[in-house]
Structures are given as structure tokens and as C-alpha cells.
Amino acid sequence: MSDVDAVVYDANEVVTVEENGELGVYEDAAVAVVDGEVARIGSSGPVTREFPPENAANAVDADGKAVIPGFVDPHTHALFAGDRSDEFEAKLRGKTYQEILAEGGGILRTVRATRNAGDDELLSNLLDHLDTMLAHGTTTVEVKSGYGLDTETELRMLDVVDRADDRHPVDVVPTFMGAHAVPEGRETEEYVTEVVEEQIPAVADQGVAEFCDVFCEEGVFDVPQSRRVLVTAAEQGMTPKVHAEELAHIGGTQLAADVGAASADHLLHSTEEDVDALVEAGVSPVLLPGTAFGLGADYADARTFLDAGAPVATATDFNPNCYSQSMGFAASLACVEMGMTPAEALVAATKNAARAVDVEDGTGTLLEGTPGDLAVLDAPTYVHVPYNFGVNAVETVVKGGEVVADGGDVVESREVVDRA
Ligand code: NIG
Ligand code: FE
């Protein structure tokens, strides 16, 4: 018989996301993980008789708490150097995101700091953020480049993302985002030509990035420029993603539908036609309530997407402008500010989030035969994820059957993994 990696037993409830996108809630339940995958889920008695915890490599007494699928965070800019906490204060005093960017701050400031940072510093920064994410229950995360804005630094960022994926228990999905901003002193058209003719071929040759994303936004890249980037990237093997209608409505959602993007993200200013176009094209809407919170902006209209049957996903958008690694906090905002139910917020943070990054092995569902990635909460029901706002509701994290975080601390990465 195969080795049993983990048995998580005596949970008040074990929550799955079923094929139809609804939650499955098993009461007084247990989960057994064998060879990294969920082998059995059901009532604690029968599961622990079939898979005795004492024979498992990891026996986790869930002690009347809730067990949920590990979170998938499908949109982050988690690799960067420098600090922009002073911009948080400037925004509180009334400065806008665009004004800060126009003064050479914002993304451009992080670009300067990232270009000046060595690979080891970048890797160490990213691993620290992955630790925080893991302790908050995230077991898969997408990370974008886009603070290099030149071929050398963009490749360096993707290489660091790849190394972090090798070294850290969190699964990291890499996205190339050379079209994140126009570098200082450059013309937009001429920079887009560099992205298309120089950066994309080099990134394709490097072979790390799975996706290519563009900041399709007023004053950044317009729709034709964004289309040029995404079509070229798709021809060279990267799946498109679009930052669409974050600050203004310029047509990024329709572009995402046209180019068959995996997701369109932000969507604060999307129209009903946009919603229809996304649903028609099967593009995942990724909503980022933390960004609206941080900007003091209006939130995306989640209900319109849900009513249209779209597989709504949420993400942290963790970056220096939106400084939260917590999918739980995003879930609180999804419920309180976007009117989602706790069940919808959990599906958005797990199964639908995995769809948005084309992870199609059942990650985010906790169904039998899918990866054994789960979080044991320090609470009796999954509702505590959004309910317990501003606090980490996650106690223990299991990734592929390994206990990787416990009591807010990462078990694996610091001790076992050589960071430098
Ligand atoms: O998704 N909007 C563009 N990119 C990020 C912000 C990045 C930054 O400000 O450093 C976002 O919000
Ligand atoms: Fe973003």
C-alpha cells in the first residue's frame, strides 16, 4: 500500500468545492492524503479506520475546527524591492495613484529599486512574502514580473520567480508583465515595440513565464498597444491576461475576450456588455477588492458577474500599492464591500482562482483525487474566513500532504530550504 502522507481528523467540518461550483460540507469529518492527493474525505470514523492517523507521516488533530481547500491567489506583484509606505500616507492626504506615478513614484519607483537590487535580495524578499502567504493559507500563487521594464531585469525577475517556486512549498505560477508601465524617458509606442520585438522573444526563449499580462489603462497602454503585446506573446506560447478597467473604462475587458485571455483582472469600471463578452469568451473575471480598499475607490460589481454565471475569482493583488498578502482579508472585503456570500467568497478564492491561472488538476477543490492542499482554521466553520476580518483565521497548512505552516509559522521553508 502507498504511504499515507497525512490524515486530518476530528474536524467540525471539511469543506470542498464540488464540480458544480457549490460547496460540499462534510460534518465531523476527516481527510486522508496519499501520494500528495486527497485519497478519502468523509466522516472521521470511517476515514480514520481506513487510514489510521498513527500510521500517517503527518497526523493533524483538527480538534473541532474547519478544514478548507488551500487558497489560490491568482494575481500578485509579489516580487519587488524597496518600500512605498510613504505613498500610502500621500494617498491618505488626497494624492491619486496616477499623480504619484506621473511624478516618477509608484511603479516607476519600484522599478528603480528592483533594478538596483541583487538577485539574492530579490529572492529573499519574495520568499519572505511567500512565507506570509503560506501562513495565511495560500498554497498556490501567481507572481508577475513588471518591475524591470527592460529585458535584463524582466528575465532576472522571472528567473527569481522560478527559483522561489523550486525552493518554497507554495506553488508559484509565473507571469511576464514587461508592459506594466512605460519606463522613464521612453515613448510608449517605442517601448511597446521593445516589448514585442525584444522582451517577448527573450522571455519565450527563457521558458519560465506561462502568462503575459498588460496594464491596459488610460495613460499607460491603450487597447491597440495592449493587443500588440498580447497577440505576440500568445504566438510565442504565453497565455494572455489583462489588467482591465482599473482606473477608467477603456476597453480592456473586450480585448481580453478578443484575445482569449485566461482572465481579465480588476474590472472596477466594467459595463454589462463587458460582463457578457467575458462570459461568452470563457474569460475568468478576477476581482481585487484590496486594491479598491487601498485606493479608496468603488469596488467591482461582483453580483453582475455572478448573476451572469461567470466563475468569479478573487486575488490579493499584493504589491507595494496594495500591501496585503491575505486572501482572508480579500474574502472579508468580497463579502462586506462586494456583497458576496461567504460561500461565494470561498469558491472565488479557491476553485475559481485556480481556473484563472489555468491550474486544472483540481487544485482549490479538495475533492478526492486532487492535490492535498488544505488549511485547518482556528475556528469551527469556513464562514470565519471572512467573518474574522483583519486576523489570520488559518492555524495549520498542508501542501501535498506535508504540514508546511502551523500557528502562523512556516514549518518548511526557512529550516529545510537553502535560501541564498
Ligand atoms: O494591479 N495596476 C497595475 N499594477 C498594480 C499596481 C502596481 C504598483 O503600483 O506597483 C495593480 O494594482
Ligand atoms: Fe495588478
**How far, in Å, CA of 208 to CA of 95, rounded?**
37
Average pLDDT score, the chain: 96
Query: Can you tell me whether residue 23 is helix, strand or coil?
Result: strand
C-alpha cell at 342: 461567504
For the CA of 217, the closest atom of ligand 1 is 2
Centre of ligand 1 to C-alpha 321, Å, is 6
**How far, in Å, CA of 75 to CA of 357, rounded?**
9
Distance of CA 395 to the CA centre of its chain: 20
Query: What confidence tier does 227 reach under pLDDT thresholds 50, 70, 90?
Result: very high
Residue from 316, 338, 336 nearest 326 by CA: 316
What is the pTM (predicted TM-score) of this model?
0.97
- Give the pLDDT of residue 154: 98
- Give the pLDDT of residue 412: 63
Query: What confidence tier does 415 reach under pLDDT thresholds 50, 70, 90?
Result: very low
**How far, in Å, CA of 245 to CA of 227, rounded?**
15
Question: What domains are defined for the chain?
Answer: 4-70+365-410 (2.30.40.10), 71-356 (3.20.20.140)
- pLDDT above 90: residue 279: yes
- Give the pLDDT of residue 417: 45
Pocket of ligand 1 (CB under 6 A): 77, 106-107, 110, 215, 243, 246, 291, 317, 319-322
C-alpha cell at 136: 495565511
* CB 401, CB 374: distance < 8 Å: no
- Give the pLDDT of residue 42: 97
- For residue range 294-331, list pLDDT tens digits in order: 999 999 999 999 999 999 999 999 999 999 999 999 99
Centre of ligand 1 to C-alpha 44, Å, is 44
- Give the pLDDT of residue 213: 99
Ligand in closest contact with the CA of 290: 1
What value does the mean pLDDT take over residues 202-230? 98
- Give the pLDDT of residue 414: 45
- The torsion angle over the Cα atoms of residues 264, 270, 275 and 280, rounded to 10 degrees, is -50
For the CA of 107, the closest atom of ligand 1 is 10
Centre of ligand 1 to C-alpha 404, Å, is 29
- For residue range 62-108, list pLDDT tens digits in order: 999 999 999 999 999 999 999 999 999 999 999 999 899 999 999 99
